[in-house]
Amino acid sequence: MLIGYARVSRDKQDLAAQVEGLERLGVDAERIYTDKLTGRTAARPGLQSAIAATREGDTFVVTKLDRLGRSVPDLRDITHDLHARGVALQMAGAIYDPTDPFGKFFLTTLAAVAEFEADMISMRTKEGLAVARAKGRLNGKPPKLSQRQHMKVLTEYESGTTTPGELAQDYGVDRATIYRTIDRAKKMREGSQ
């Protein structure tokens, strides 16, 4: 049986291309497990469920190795776990055997490249943030609500006629945003006095 796994690093990213790729490789849609979490950790619920669903003789399928993980130790542990269960690892159209010297070399090389790529992305992001901070252009994400809306939310909240949950629904945001909005509005009001 084929068991598929797809992962994206952020909640807003789309898994559709990977899922379609797995289906083209013959994985039944009901046997595809997914995560929307960074690959820097092996503690991913979809990955754990996918591995748990495998049985001896199954094939674990990913479209690319970096979808399985981005660190050499984690990838080594995952591939060894699969091998110990008697499960083959398939990336795209090829099956890799971690006990075969060529397969082991190839997997280790791909894992090192994936880890290097993740490290480079992290380094470039940190450098970009430092440059933006130095230029005074980085203050976090802009608020979802305008200043005028901030004051309206605070007024409605302080009136006691509506709950944060109702305000979140009215303004099309989550409750955490409402709480941040209330805090910002209070600071704006204090600053103007």
Helix (H, G, I), strand (E, B) or coil at 116: helix
Q: How far is CA 104 from CA 65, 73, 83, in A?
A: 13, 13, 12
Give the pLDDT confidence score for residue 14 in this predicted structure: 85
pTM recorded for the entire structure: 0.62
pLDDT tens-place string over residues 87-143:
999 988 888 877 788 888 888 888 888 889 888 988 998 998 888 878 777 666 777
d(Cα 30, Cα 50) in Å, to the nearest integer? 11
DSSP 9: S
* Catalytic (active-site) positions: 9
Helix (H, G, I), strand (E, B) or coil at 44: coil
The residue length of the chain stands at 193
Question: How many CB atoms within 10 Å of residue 4?
Answer: 26
Q: Please report which confidence band the pLDDT of residue 85 belongs to, taking 50, 70 and 90 as the band edges.
A: very high
pLDDT number for residue 61: 95
